[in-house]
């Protein structure tokens, strides 16, 4: 029997999954074993969320699970066997079946000690939160909710089945998971959970950097990452995993004196999430328009050629850059005469600190490079609206951003949090103008792939020199010329190169004598 109000929602999902749940449940029942759909699968069914993955628990051991499912599954794997988990694929669903278990941490160990259990109730009490401690016994579809998880789901509250202290002692990563669910589901934690997180914050240090990183990525990809980060900061957990962000609380922003840099940062993260969605719509609209016209993508919209390399949804890179963009301020803060506060070069310092923190969390080099580069570039736009930029400055902005250009658009716009409406409108108008100029120049010049007008081979032929450092210097000169003047035709580029060469000391050096006839 299902609780009132949840029957229809859950029943509909179970009906949809019956071609998997029915045969699998009977398979285990006929062999004398229990089986239940459990945890996040039940929670997501009640929330109406997509369920590409299905989690089950059973009193069968991993060897027995594998023996039962092997003939039935489309394919299976046992990479989680030591944790009691056998995985498989069936009808497009990725399925994991795990023996009733408990995970506990030795106070000095980063790895869980796994103990298998023999009944569903004991398994559920050991789960992280009540909203994940619900199950549906199969094949009879008996709803099991010993800790009122459904009520907490409806109230949008995160509680633990056992005491929060016991739960977090068993697995301290659950404290970060609480913050992750705050972000993903828009829930709040109970007073008991928040108190335990605060009292036990230091215990997060026994968790491996990789597991902390993975939870942080999931948190940042939620619907409200700022709320999850704020929970980590307010409980002291961020002091151990993101100390640079926690350290922003006491800093004052020179442009926004009515609030501190920490609150400004949370606002930037929220605005980045909103802008990310807006830019994704623009990208999709551009793709659809080009598809309808049957035309090839142009340089004006590099994202239409490979959106996955430019922006994703949700996009961890731009969101994490928004979180970290001002972490260089505490170490660059200076008090000027008259009470002004400055943070000169906090963009460069912040990029270095970002790289250091992300390395400590074992992020891959590519992600570190992209996030830190965005932090370094986030102030480039300021001054555009007042002084205006030459075409060469616009080209540099695009070239320096490279594939990060769309993300830089988002970060720069998100960084405007002033309450002064006129100032906000002026900055928005200026950035609109910059994007329009980028589009116009891109249509003419392929800004997404700026190269010198002559390649290395042509340089050597014109100057009659062999490969060496001088070719690189000539290439950089031509790239600089391309930035300043835009595209040149072949004759103009050749003339510019020869003029540059005439001023180089090596032009008459013995080691750079012609290696063959010039190509004219």
Can you list the residues of the chain whose pLDDT is less than 50?
1-3, 253-258, 297-309, 509-520
CA gap 471, 455 in Å, rounded: 10
Q: How far is CA 388 from the centre of its chain?
A: 33
Query: What 8-state DSSP symbol labels residue 252?
Result: B
Provide the pLDDT for residue 51: 82
Contacts of residue 290, defined as CB under 8 A and 6 or more positions apart, other chains included, come to 296, 297, 304
CA gap 61, 68 in Å, rounded: 11
Task: Please check whether residue 24 is in contact with residue 115, taking contact to mean a CB–CB distance below 8 angstroms.
Answer: no
Vertex 84 angle, CA 81 and 86, to 5°:
60
Say which CATH superfamily domain 7-155 falls into.
Beta Polymerase, domain 2 (3.30.460.10)
Q: Characterise 323 by phi-psi region: left (phi > 0), alpha (psi -120 to 50), beta (else).
A: alpha
Provide the pLDDT for residue 8: 75
Provide the pLDDT for residue 110: 54
CA gap 447, 110 in Å, rounded: 48
Q: What is the largest CA-CA distance in the chain?
A: 93
**H helical segments located in 116-207:** 120-125, 149-155, 164-170, 173-185, 191-199
Q: How far is CA 213 from CA 242, 362, 364, 442, in A?
A: 11, 7, 11, 37
The Cβ-side half-sphere exposure at 145, using a 13 Å CA radius, reads 18
Torsion angles phi and psi, residue 83, rounded to 5: -100, 10
Provide the pLDDT for residue 515: 47
User: Beta strands 188-189 and 334-335: pairing type?
Assistant: unpaired
Fold exhibited by the domain 164-241: Hydrophobic Seed Protein (1.10.110)
User: Beta strands 85-90 and 93-99: pairing type?
Assistant: antiparallel
pTM of the model: 0.80
Provide the pLDDT for residue 107: 61
Provide the pLDDT for residue 511: 46
Provide the pLDDT for residue 204: 97
Cross-strand bridge partners of residue 77: 87
Domain boundaries, the chain: 7-155, 164-241, 258-449, 456-512
Provide the pLDDT for residue 247: 94
Nearest to 407 by CA among 290, 307, 326, 263: 307
Q: How many residues does the chain have?
A: 520
Provide the pLDDT for residue 132: 95
DSSP 473-520: HHHHHHHHHHHHH----HHHHHHHHHHHHHTSGGGG-GGGS-SS----
């Amino acid at each position: 029997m299902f609780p009132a109000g949840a029957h229809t929602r859950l029943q509909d999902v179970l009906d949809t999954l019956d071609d998997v749940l029915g045969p699998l449940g009977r398979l285990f029942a006929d062999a004398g074993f229990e089986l239940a759909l459990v945890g996040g699968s039940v929670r997501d069914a009640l929330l109406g969320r997509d369920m590409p993955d299905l989690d089950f628990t059973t009193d069968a051991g991993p060897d027995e699970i594998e023996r039962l499912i092997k003939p039935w599954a489309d394919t299976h794997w046992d990479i989680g066997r030591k944790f009691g988990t056998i995985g498989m694929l069936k009808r497009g669903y990725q399925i994991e079946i795990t023996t009733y278990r408990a995970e506990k941490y030795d106070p000095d160990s980063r790895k869980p000690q796994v103990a298998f259990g023999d009944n569903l109730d004991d398994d559920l009490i050991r789960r992280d939160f009540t909203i994940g401690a619900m199950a549906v016994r199969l094949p009879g579809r008996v709803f099991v909710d010993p800790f009122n998880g459904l009520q907490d789901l409806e109230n949008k509250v995160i509680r633990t089945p056992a005491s929060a202290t016991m739960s977090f002692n068993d697995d301290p990563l659950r404290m970060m998971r609480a913050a992750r669910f705050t972000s993903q589901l828009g829930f709040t934690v109970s007073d008991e959970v928040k108190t335990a997180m605060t009292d036990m914050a230091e215990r997060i240090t026994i968790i491996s950097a990789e597991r902390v990183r993975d939870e942080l990525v999931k948190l940042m990809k939620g619907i409200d990452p700022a709320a999850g980060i704020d929970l980590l900061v307010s409980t002291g957990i961020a002091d151990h995993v993101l100390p640079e962000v926690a350290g922003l609380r006491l800093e004052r922003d020179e442009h926004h004196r009515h609030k501190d840099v920490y609150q400004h940062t949370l606002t930037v993260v929220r605005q980045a999430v909103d802008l990310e969605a807006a830019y994704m719509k623009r990208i999709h609209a551009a793709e659809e328009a080009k598809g309808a016209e049957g035309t090839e993508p142009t340089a004006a919209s590099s994202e239409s050629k490979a959106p996955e390399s430019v922006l994703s949804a949700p996009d961890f890179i731009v969101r994490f850059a928004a979180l970290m963009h001002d972490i260089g301020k505490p170490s660059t803060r200076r008090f000027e005469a008259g009470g002004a506060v400055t943070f000169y070069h906090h963009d460069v310092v912040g990029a270095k600190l970002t790289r250091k923190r992300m390395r400590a969390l074992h992020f891959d080099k590519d992600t570190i490079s992209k996030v830190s580069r965005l932090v370094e570039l986030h102030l480039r736009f300021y001054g555009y609206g007042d002084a205006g930029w030459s075409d060469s400055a616009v080209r540099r902005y695009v070239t320096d951003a490279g594939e990060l250009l769309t993300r830089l658009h988002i970060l720069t716009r998100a960084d405007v949090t002033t309450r002064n409406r006129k100032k906000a409108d002026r900055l928005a108008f200026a950035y609109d103008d910059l994007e329009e100029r980028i589009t116009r120049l891109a249509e003419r010049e392929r800004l997404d792939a700026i190269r010198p007008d002559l390649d290395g081979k042509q340089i050597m032929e014109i100057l009659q020199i062999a490969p060496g450092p001088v070719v690189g210097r000539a290439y950089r000169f031509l790239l600089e010329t391309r930035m300043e003047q835009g595209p040149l035709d072949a004759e103009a580029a050749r003339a510019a190169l020869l003029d540059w060469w005439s001023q180089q000391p090596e032009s008459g050096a013995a080691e750079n004598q012609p290696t063959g006839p010039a190509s004219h």
